[in-house]
Structure 1
């Protein structure tokens, strides 16, 4: 069970310090938004490249941007260890995933809440992770969408049928109240923003989330 705190909930004036607060996490989740694919605008390549140089944990880049085919490999080259792009923004997801891997990062596809998984099931041969969004992408602090739990299970079952090691990530409204449901549905990588950065002790919050997820592993009660 891996925890990937989202720096979208961090203090942007002190990102080096904020990354140090999550040194016990597995990843630092970097939300890249372009103001087009989603209405919000966050940070891009130069900032991620610098964060990769000082982060105590590997960077998990989530690209909520148009023209993912063009830009996704650059984020791997800039230092992200995992690069996630939205299938809705890619015209050639196979080539994009291969380019990310060729640049030395893990490749991942993301699905918005309204996007079904079935049309993209064949992409499992090309990716290392599938991100099921549990809120509409664009802003932090939104409420968890329980209607996405069956999609998580659907992806988990497809991964199990295929064999191999593909992670399933969830992002949006993940907290101590919701992480167990996601783990039970089949997720094993959890993006949490305010649940970690809103806590007095971010390291303790990471550990609590990890333990809660571990108690609800898929297939166990």
Structure 2
């Protein structure tokens, strides 16, 4: 499966966001991870539809939008119009997850389903053939700078095995506490889409992205 780096712009410098997006793309990133927080499902607030709309058409990166909000079905159409390519919603935040996934597809986007660290992988079993991507949170959602939760590796392995048993080659994305020092372990567990924030945007952005890509290619 293709291995993809998804830099999280939660860690970007918004004064030069356009330049940083361009550097990410030129250095080998494929996705741009866009974290949306509502202050209810998680304590923090972040950006939303207007920021996504403002960068629409200014990059070739796939817009990978992660909604940490209550009842995300309410905003599926707005994010589609703003340029989201993949819309990932939390299992824990949806009253009717199937209806939410169907709405995302109806709006022309790929659907992602994510679970918090304390939520067991088993809850995803009814939806294994419903989503184009599953996101394993390896930190508590809602704030950056946390350490990777080691138990996440077993969840990734379990999910990959469940998908393979059904002949599904669905993307598994992992978000939280991933850097150059531990990304290989995450890939080896079965993930293929890696979200990284400070590990990309702190220091030399181009060099950081290139090093992630080198590890991806070396480990294939």
Common fold: TM-score over 0.5: yes
Question: 1:216: how far off?
Answer: 4.1
* Partners of 1:33 and 1:41 within 8 A in 2: yes
Match of 1:69 in 2: 73
Match of 2:208 in 1: 205
Using the TM superposition, name which of 58-67 and 44-53 deviates more. Answer: 44-53
The gaps in structure 1 that reach 5 residues or longer are none
Match of 2:114 in 1: 110
Question: 1:214: how far off?
Answer: 4.1
Partner-residue secondary structure (3-state), 1:47: helix
Match of 2:20 in 1: 18
State the alpha-carbon separation in 1 of the partners of residues 105 and 114 from structure 2.
16
Describe how 1:129-208 pairs up with structure 2 within 5 A.
Answer: 129-200=133-204, 202-208=205-211
* Partners of 2:76 and 2:107 within 8 A in 1: no
Match of 1:99 in 2: 103
State the alpha-carbon separation in 2 of the partners of residues 55 and 93 from structure 1.
31
1:81 pairs with one of 80, 85, 98: 85
* Partners of 1:128 and 1:165 within 8 A in 2: no
State the alpha-carbon separation in 1 of the partners of residues 95 and 42 from structure 2.
17
* Partners of 1:45 and 1:78 within 8 A in 2: yes
The gaps in structure 2 that reach 5 residues or longer are none
> Residue deviations 1:14-39, cap 9 Å, x none?
22222112113110000111111111
Measured on the aligned residues, the alpha-carbon RMSD in Å equals 1.4
The TM-score with structure 2 as length reference comes to: 0.93
Question: 1:113: how far off?
Answer: 0.3
Aligned length: 216
Question: 1:161: how far off?
Answer: 0.9
The TM-score with structure 1 as length reference comes to: 0.93
Match of 1:7 in 2: 9
Question: 1:215: how far off?
Answer: 4.0
State the alpha-carbon separation in 2 of the partners of residues 20 and 89 from structure 1.
33
Match of 2:33 in 1: 29
